[in-house]
């Protein structure tokens, strides 16, 4: 095991977007290291609940709703870790202004809603926030202007909240996933030409796995990162540098 098995014993973590993909891997990794984990997702299914396992609490959450977000945190007596993974992408549709606004509201404003709601609890525990940025925090995407704008915003939001929350001793960082094998990228994985192009540019020569992101999140939430804040960590197999 990479990390001490009881690293987060006695800690409470909330993972938004935690019922599938990268978020689910993070929720499972935190729970496996002893944390009480609440995985929140939009309309969780029985299959998602079963896949997460009985040790993880599952909650329904719409990050586009102020009331929903407030209700998620209201019952918690303590909170040590917040991981924001809730997000959406609408390839080819985001030039429509209504779709653009929806993606921004979920990805960027939804992250801010969760951070704001969690702040008092995290201040009490001197806890940590990890947001989910992207490669598209660093360069553009012609088919996904809203997604790219939201992820650029996540990078700046992370830095800004790190400064604002530092007086509460809350650390705020972000991971920037590369090409990760999840349902969100399944169409690209299935497209032989696109997948080949991605792998040829990725120095480590493979698609990332959700647990590659989860392991980095664990580090950022752990005492090993006690002096790390306002940082965006690419987890991309070297793609950005290629």
For domain 12-181+210-234, say whether CATH 3.10.450.50 is its number: no
**Range list of H helices, the chain:** 21-32, 46-52, 66-73, 97-104, 110-125, 145-165, 186-190, 192-201, 210-221
pLDDT tens for residues 207-234?
999 999 999 999 999 999 999 999 999 9
Residue 1 has pLDDT above 90, yes or no: no
What average pLDDT does this structure show over 55-62? 98
Which pLDDT score is estimated for 184? 82
Measured CA to CA, the distance from residue 140 to residue 200 in angstroms comes to: 20
Measuring CA to CA, which residue among 40, 238, 214, 11 is closest to residue 130? 214
**What amino acid positions are annotated as catalytic residues?**
147
Q: Where are the domains of the chain?
A: 12-181+210-234
Percent of the chain with pLDDT over 70: 100
pTM of structure: 0.97
Percent of the chain with pLDDT over 90: 97
pLDDT tens for residues 11-49?
999 999 999 999 999 999 999 999 999 999 999 999 999
Measuring CA to CA, which residue among 85, 83, 101, 81 is closest to residue 93? 101
Which pLDDT score is estimated for 46? 97
pLDDT band at 172 (very low <50, low <70, confident <90, very high): very high
């Amino acid at each position: 095991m990479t990390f001490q098995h009881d690293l987060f014993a006695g800690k409470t973590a909330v993972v938004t977007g935690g019922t599938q993909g990268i978020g689910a891997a993070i929720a499972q990794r935190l729970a496996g290291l002893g944390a009480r984990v609440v995985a929140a997702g939009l309309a969780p299914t029985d299959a998602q609940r079963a896949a997460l396992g009985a040790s993880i609490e599952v909650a329904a959450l719409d990050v586009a709703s102020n009331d929903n977000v407030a209700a998620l945190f209201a019952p918690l007596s303590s909170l040590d870790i917040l991981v924001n993974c809730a997000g959406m992408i609408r390839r080819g549709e985001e030039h429509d202004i209504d779709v653009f606004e929806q993606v921004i509201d979920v990805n960027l404003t939804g992250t801010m809603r969760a951070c704001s709601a969690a702040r008092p609890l995290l201040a009490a525990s001197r806890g940590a926030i990890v947001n989910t940025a992207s490669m598209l925090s660093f360069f553009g995407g012609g088919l996904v202007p809203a997604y790219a704008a939201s992820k650029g915003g996540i990078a700046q939001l992370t830095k800004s909240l790190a400064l604002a929350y530092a007086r509460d001793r809350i650390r705020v960082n972000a991971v920037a996933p590369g090409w990760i094998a999840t349902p969100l990228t399944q169409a690209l994985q299935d497209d032989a030409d696109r997948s080949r192009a991605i792998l040829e540019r990725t120095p480590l020569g493979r698609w990332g796995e959700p647990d590659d992101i989860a392991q980095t999140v664990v580090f950022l939430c752990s005492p090993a990162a006690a002096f790390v804040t306002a940082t965006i960590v690419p987890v991309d197999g070297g793609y950005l540098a290629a």
